[in-house]
Amino acid sequence: MGTETTGPKYAQMAADLRAMIEAGDLAPGAPLPSEPELAERYGLSRTSVRNGIRLLVGWGLVVVERGRGTFVRQARPRVRRHATERYRREKDLVRRPEFERRTSGPLEQDTGLSLSDVTFRAEFDIVPAPKDIAGVFGVAPDTQMLRRRHLHVPKGDGFPLRGGESWLLLADAERNPDLLRPDLEPWPGGTQHQLSTIGIELDRITDSIIARPPTPDEMRSLGITAGVSVLVLRKVSIATDERVVEVADVVMPGDRTELIYTVDLPRWEK
């Protein structure tokens, strides 16, 4: 037992359980002893036992389910997002016929799901640019923007894959009235195809990735529990004339996401 013999008793209990989980004595999906039982077994009050369990939750080793028990966590598979290939493929598809765009969009490539398995909700509105968004576009802070909000929910499993917000200059979006219609989402071929309808070709995309604790809203809407961070990706699309034409913030559950980038390195000259 005595894995750790320093520090508070509840931490010793947690370290002990941790060792058992890592050794496989408690298999993924198996229930931990109940709180009263742990209290007796380790000679602690239930309050202290709960402190220990909170540590295990914070380490991502167990999940607690009210009325059922506490269980060793099943690692849920992560969704891989191959960003580099995704963006290049999206650009390539713009020039292809619609049936091909519709059946081989970037979404399926990332998730293994086809569009029919995904509930896609979109809300559009026209608002003045908040300060940080205006800064990225390099426009005045009250410039009119088209803001689009999305939520992707696979139909089987009720957990959303991601939520997001995308910003376009209204002056750009207005040039094709279809871009203002949420009912046309998801647009086959994605944002790059939308931009191409108003004569915009992208030169490059810059992704900035951070992790942060979820807001209470995000915990609900992404179905994540305390202790799990969200990954936030800010995607900035830059056109061939060096203008910023789209800024999108994508929020993904940190425990179910893997982001992949490929950096090509120019060959040395002989």
Instruction: Note whether 28 binds its own copies by CB under 8 A.
Output: no
Instruction: Note whether 199 binds its own copies by CB under 8 A.
Output: no
Q: Fill in the amino acid letter for 215.
A: T
Instruction: Note whether 112 binds its own copies by CB under 8 A.
Output: no
Distance, CA of 185 to CA of 178 (rounded, Å): 10
x/- track of binding to its own copies for residues 49-88 (CB under 8 A): ---------xxx-----------------x----xx--xx
Least Cβ distance, residue 206 to its own copies (angstroms): 5
Least Cβ distance, residue 223 to DNA (angstroms): 14
Q: Fill in the amino acid letter for 26.
A: L
Q: Cβ neighbours of residue 42 under 8 Å, at least 6 residues apart?
A: 9, 12, 13, 16, 49
Q: Fill in the amino acid letter for 222.
A: L
Least Cβ distance, residue 9 to DNA (angstroms): 3
116: which 2 tokens? 């029919």
Determine which helix (DSSP H) or strand (DSSP E) holds 193, and give its type and residue range: helix 190-196
The candidate with the shortest Cα–Cα distance to 229, out of 208, 207, 252, is: 252
Q: What is the DSSP letter of 156?
A: S
x/- track of binding to DNA for residues 1-30 (CB under 7 A): ------xxxxx-------------------
What are residue 120's phi and psi, to 5 degrees?
Answer: -120, 115
Instruction: Note whether 175 binds its own copies by CB under 8 A.
Output: no
Q: Which stretch binds DNA (CB under 7 A): 31-39, 144-152, 157-165, 258-266?
A: 31-39
Distance, CA of 99 to CA of 185 (rounded, Å): 16
Q: Which is nearer to its own copies, 62 or 134 (CB)?
A: 62
Distance, CA of 170 to CA of 174 (rounded, Å): 6
The SS3 of residue 12 is helix
Q: Which is nearer to DNA, 1 or 263 (CB)?
A: 1
User: For the residues of 42-88, what is the DSSP string, one character each?
Assistant: HT--HHHHHHHHHHHHHTTSEEEETTTEEEEPP-PPPEEEEHHHHHH
Q: Which does 73 bind (CB under 5 to 8 A by kind): its own copies, DNA, none?
A: none
22: which 2 tokens? 């890592």
Instruction: Note whether 217 binds its own copies by CB under 8 A.
Output: no
Q: Which stretch binds its own copies (CB under 8 A): 90-98, 104-112, 132-140, 159-167?
A: 90-98
Q: Which is nearer to its own copies, 37 or 258 (CB)?
A: 258
Q: Fill in the amino acid letter for 250.
A: V
Q: Which stretch binds DNA (CB under 7 A): 36-44, 79-87, 167-175, 251-259?
A: 36-44
Are 29 and 72 within 8 A, CB to CB?
A: yes
102: which 2 tokens? 């519709």
Q: Which is nearer to DNA, 43 or 216 (CB)?
A: 43
Instruction: Note whether 50 binds DNA by CB under 7 A.
Output: yes
Provide the binding-site residues for its own copies, judged by CB under 8 A.
15, 47, 58-60, 78, 83-84, 87-88, 91, 94-95, 201-216, 226-231, 240, 254-255, 257-268
